Amino acid sequence: MICTSCGHRNPAGTQFCVSCRGFLDWEEGGEATEAGQAATPGPAALAPPVAAAPEPPGVPAAPAPPPPSATRPGPAAQPNPAAQAPPTAPRVPAAERAAVAPRRPGERAPQAEGEGPAHRPEQLSAEAPKAPAAAPPVRCPHCAAENQRGRALCRRCGGLLTEAAAAAPPRLPWWRRIFRRRAPERLSAGSRPQTRRRRLFRLVLPGVLVALLLGGWLARDPIRELFSEAVEQTTEQEALHPARVGASSESGEHTAAAAFDGFHNRYWAPDAPGEATGEYLEAEFEEPVEVRTILVTPGSSANQDEFLRQARPASLTVTLLSGAEEVATETLSLKDEPGAQTFSVHGADVDRVRITVDSAFGTGDGRLLALAEVEFFGRR
């Protein structure tokens, strides 16, 4: 198969020229190939003349053979364009030139252009072209979203995408970024630097943590008390009933036990009428308890008509005792009205409570100071 464009000889059955990649078999049956072979001169006609060896004297020279015919007429219906073109010097392959040119001893024959293991026609026709590998996506350094290579801005956050940003190392944890110094960041159009804010945050955060730890250590006792207070406030209290009661003095049937019997129409009254300053009631518990609330019902009754018949306490001093020691002391200011009045008094490990009269309402005309009821609430 001789190429009509470059004159290169190709193996039989080849459709494309190995040298110029031109198409060889233009028609079925090989008519174009025969026409090309007829129009292209063979290697013998293109080979340079070889000098004949000198003949010995006396021997007549042999007559030269007539030159072979260089062309052969092709089909009349389809002329060969290469045959009609003006005669030019065809390109002779290196293999044909090497076949006729003399070589030195030990010299390798040159290979024809396009021939060799990498340019075999069987491999060109058998191997299919491979599709180019897809380019890996570019990961945004701000939000880690994958973007198609070639984009300038991130499709999710709009951040600037660069090759340097895509190849940036992973973000370090916060405890390693506190005292680490960074290189100045390049800003895009319309953005503002945040270096000062980050530097201030790095300097302030350790100080705030140290201050919180130190404050918590110094205020551990108040914090513990507040926690206990919150627990106690959320815990339901129970009634605490004294095992023994007593008073500084009693007036007839108005004994100290009448102030702890649960009835509001019976009351305790000291022996002497008037304000009864310094007179007291005392309640003792079987075992130490935690007192948190005291309810006091002043007067001789909870009814309005009977309430004003006797004097009423205006101020009381409550002393919580644990053995001979005072746990807590509170002063209660009462209103001059019937009904129970609630007061918060806190004390732990209390075994006795003393209630002392400081002042009274409605004294005079021989009236006795009346205290209808006293109740304790807390936890055992």
**pLDDT per position as a tens digit, 208-227:** 889 999 988 898 888 888 88
Q: Is residue 88 pLDDT above 60, yes or no? A: no
Query: In the structure, what pLDDT confidence band is assigned to residue 151 with cuts at 50, 70 and 90?
Result: confident
- Cβ atoms of 369 and 360 within 8 Å: the answer is yes
**CB-based contact 267:276 (threshold 8 Å):** no
Q: Average pLDDT, stretch 140-148?
A: 83
Question: What is the Cα Rg of the chain in Å?
Answer: 61
Report how far residue 361's alpha carbon sits from residue 313's, in angstroms, rounded to the nearest whole number.
Answer: 6
374 versus 55: the higher-pLDDT residue is: 374
Residue 91: partners with Cβ closer than 8 Å, 6 or more residues away: 6, 7, 8, 19
- Collapse the DSSP code of 32 into the 3-class scheme (helix H, G, I; strand E, B; otherwise coil) and give the result: helix
Q: How far is CA 46 from the centre of its chain?
A: 79
CATH superfamily of 238-379: Galactose-binding domain-like (2.60.120.260)
- Label each residue of 108-146 as H, E or C: CCCCCCCCCHHHCHHHHHHCCCCCCCCCCCEECCCCCCE
Is 50 exceeded by the pLDDT of residue 74? Answer: no
For residues 327 and 318, give the distance between their C-alpha atoms in angstroms, rounded to a whole number.
11
List Cβ neighbours of 364 (8 Å cut-off, separation of 6 or more): 274
The H or E element spanning position 297 is strand 280-298
User: Where do the domains of the chain lie?
Assistant: 1-44+75-100+111-124, 136-171, 238-379
Cross-strand partners of 326: 321
pLDDT tier, 124 (very low <50, low <70, confident <90, very high otherwise):
very low
End-to-end CA gap in the chain: 117
Which residue, chain included where needed, has tokens 């895509």? 166
**CATH number attached to the domain at 136-171:** 2.30.30
pLDDT greater than 60 at residue 301: yes
Phi and psi of 49, rounded to 5°?
A: -65, 135
Alpha carbon distance 180, 149 (integer Å): 32
Band of residue 23 on the pLDDT scale cut at 50, 70, 90: confident
**How many other CB atoms sit within 10 Å of the CB of residue 82?**
19
Q: CA–CA separation, 283 vs 278, rounded Å?
A: 16
pLDDT at 83 over 50: no
How many percent of the chain have pLDDT more than 70? 62
- Write down the pTM of the prediction: 0.43
Q: What distances in angstroms separate CA 11 from CA 15, 115, 232, 256, one per listed residue?
A: 9, 11, 105, 136
What does the pLDDT average to over 180-189? Answer: 63
Chain position carrying tokens 């992973």: 170
Phi, psi of 153 (to 5 degrees): -120, 150
